[in-house]
Each structure stands twice: as C-alpha cells, then as structure tokens.
C-alpha cells in the first residue's frame, strides 16, 4: 500500500494504492478513521478527479470516505472490465484488502450499477446504499444509453465543449450555470491529478452498460439495508423512469427527484444532496 502527503480536503487528498485481485487499485481517503466507511463508486469515463470536491468534503465531515478507481482506470492497473459483475468483484476484493467487511456505499450512474452487483454478489457487505442517477439491470432505456453517450459526446467535441455539460446538465440557464460551476470545481486539484481516462476504457464501460441494460433485474430487497435513490428529472443518459423502477424493486427505499437537472443532478444540487445523504447515513 502506498501513500502520499496529508489530506486537507478532497482536492488535496493523497492518492494511495492497494493490491487486490492481481491489480493495484488507486483510491483516495479522507474523513474520520472511525465508524463505517462510505465507499464512492463513480460514473462512466471518470477517474478519481471526477468527484465533485463539495460532495466528498461534505460527506467526509463525519464519515470516512473512500473513492476508488476501477481496474484499469486512472491510477489503477490491469485491464478495464467490461461487465458490472467483474467490476463488482474487484470492489469486493479491494475492500477486503483494505480490511472492510461492512460499508456504506454511494454509487453514481455506472457506479450505482456496480453497487447493485456488489449487493447481489456480497449481500452482507453493504449496510446503507445511495443510488444516484442510475438504474437496475434491464432498466428503461439503459441499453440505448451507449448511443446517447457517444452521439452527445461527439457533438460536444466538435463544438469544443466539455461533453459533461450536455451529458450531465440541462440546457436551461440554471443548468448551464450549474455546469460551469461544476467544471470549475473539478479544476481545484492542481497537483497529483489522476491519469486521464483512455478511449478504450470508455468503450469497455459502454459495453458493460449495454450488457447491464439487456439483463434481467436482480432481487436486491434482501441484499442491502436501507436505500436512498436520487435522480434528475431531465436525465438524458439514464431516464428518470429508472428511479421509479428501482423504487419498485426496493420498496423500502427513499426517493428524491431534483427539478431541472440531468445526469449530474447531485453535482447541481450538491448542498441539498450532501444534507440528504448525511441525514440518511445517520439514521
């Protein structure tokens, strides 16, 4: 296990590595060293630098927060996985290597799909689960998500715009303002930034999403404890109907839908989300 520096906030958090399942996994950790750890699983095409520092810092006020790079992504070694189940097995292995047998988990988008696979494959591992901008296996429109991501991303590249703006935010004045603020926050880390995500990584994760979208949903109600579901009402990548479907599969879950927001709803409403998540994790 390697370590660099001392963390003051997520923008300064050292990047560490841990060996598990034949690979070195990069992660960043901050917050109190006591209590149940909160594990963050990120979205499509993201590395450790993709997490909004306002969210991580907010959650780390009273939780030990661990953000991880998937195998082959960012600072993690190995070949990128192309199924949620393989990615879930890696998460279980790295958490075991870190000494955790019971955690809380926040899964954002693809991370929410991986988190569901973790719950299905290691039912005792997750105590409390937050699913943000994600959907169940076979969820509405998920198989078509790959086409939306590619088309929108290419259109943004041709106009020299960051793809995260049209993919994560609405085209309203509110959405555009939120996008600018989010992109600015991502630049707060000026040293020790993560390795850029390759096109091959993006392609492998799109394959995993398509496979997930064509699968039958898993039975999860007995596999996890309490669940919080959050979604944007105008999510172009993961249609909001997925939040409804998740709530059907997890009838005890609490659901929040944020107005005038897209796939990056938790970034746009980071203050409200952090408050809701902390309240949920303290119950």
CA 1 to chain centre: 23
pLDDT at 47 over 70: yes
Structural contact between residues 149 and 18, judged by C-beta atoms closer than 8 angstroms = no
pTM listed for this prediction: 0.95
Q: What does the pLDDT read at residue 225?
A: 80
Tokens of 154: 């290419």
Supply the pLDDT for residue 2: 44
- Across 23-48, average pLDDT: 97
What three-state secondary structure class fits 145?
helix
Cα angle, residue 212 at apex, residues 137 and 52 outer, rounded to 5°: 90
| Highest-pLDDT range among 61-75, 138-152, 212-226 | 61-75
pLDDT given at position 189: 98
Q: 4 falls in which pLDDT band (50, 70, 90)?
A: very low
CA 112 to chain centre: 6
Write down the mean pLDDT value for the chain: 94
> Which of these ranges, 5-9, 199-203, 213-217, 246-250, has the smallest mean pLDDT?
5-9
Per-residue pLDDT, averaged over 1-6, amounts to 43
Contact 96, 67 (CB under 8 A): no
How buried is residue 36: exposed, middle or buried, by Cβ count under 10 Å (0-12/13-18/19+)?
middle
The answer on pLDDT for 6 being more than 80 is no
> Closest by alpha carbon to 15, among 191, 143, 275, 165?
191
Residues 10-282, CATH architecture: 3-Layer(aba) Sandwich (3.40)
Instruction: Give the residue, 110 or 218, on which the prediction is more confident.
Output: 110
Query: Of 123 and 20, which is predicted with more confidence?
Result: 20
Quick one: tokens of 26? 């990069």
Residue 118: pLDDT band (50, 70, 90) is: very high
The answer to whether residue 90 scores a pLDDT higher than 70 is yes
Confidence of residue 7 (pLDDT cuts 50, 70, 90): low
Q: Render the burial of 255-266: b for 16+ CB within 10 Å, e for the rest.
A: ebbbebbbbbbb
Nearest to 135 by CA among 255, 282, 273, 258: 255
Confidence of residue 153 (pLDDT cuts 50, 70, 90): confident
- H or E segment at 157? helix 145-158
What's the CA angle centered on 42, arms 153 and 14, to 5 degrees?
A: 115
Residue 5: what pLDDT?
39
Q: Are 98 and 66 in contact (CB under 8 A)?
A: yes
CB 112 within 8 A of CB 131: yes
Q: Looking at residue 2, what DSSP letter applies?
A: B
**93 pLDDT exceeds 60?**
yes
Backbone angles phi, psi at 187, to 5 degrees: -90, 0
Identify the CA nearest to 234 among candidates 256, 257, 262. Answer: 262
Place of tokens 């719950």: 119
* Predicted pLDDT of residue 3: 43
Return the closest-CA partner of residue 94 out of 45, 49, 40. Answer: 40
Q: 31: which 2 tokens? A: 């917050």
């Amino acid at each position: 296990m390697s370590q660099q520096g001392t963390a003051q906030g997520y923008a300064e958090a050292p990047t560490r590595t841990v060996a598990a399942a034949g690979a070195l996994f990069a992660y960043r950790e901050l917050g109190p060293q006591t209590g149940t750890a909160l594990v963050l699983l990120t979205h499509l095409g993201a590395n450790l630098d993709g997490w909004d520092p306002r969210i991580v810092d907010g959650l780390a006020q009273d939780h030990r927060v661990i953000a991880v790079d998937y195998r082959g992504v960012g600072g993690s070694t190995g070949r990128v996985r192309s199924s949620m189940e393989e990615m879930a097995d890696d998460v279980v292995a790295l958490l075991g290597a870190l000494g955790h047998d019971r955690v809380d988990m926040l899964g954002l988008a693809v991370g929410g799909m991986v988190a569901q696979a973790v719950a299905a494959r290691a039912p005792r591992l997750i105590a409390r689960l937050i699913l943000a901008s994600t959907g169940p296996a076979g969820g509405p429109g998920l198989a078509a998500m790959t086409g939306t991501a590619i088309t929108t991303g290419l259109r943004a590249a041709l106009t020299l715009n960051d793809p995260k703006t049209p993919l994560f935010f609405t085209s309203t004045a509110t959405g555009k303002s939120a996008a600018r603020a989010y992109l600015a926050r991502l630049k707060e880390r000026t040293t020790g930034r993560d390795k850029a995500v390759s096109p091959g990584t993006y392609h492998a994760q799109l394959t995993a999403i398509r496979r997930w979208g064509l699968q039958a949903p898993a039975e999860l109600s007995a596999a996890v404890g309490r669940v919080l579901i959050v979604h944007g009402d105008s999510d172009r990548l993961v249609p909001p109907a997925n939040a409804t479907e998740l709530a059907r599969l997890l009838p005890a879950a609490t659901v929040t839908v944020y107005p005038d927001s897209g796939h990056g709803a938790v970034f746009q409403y980071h203050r409200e989300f952090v408050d809701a998540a902390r309240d949920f994790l303290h119950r």
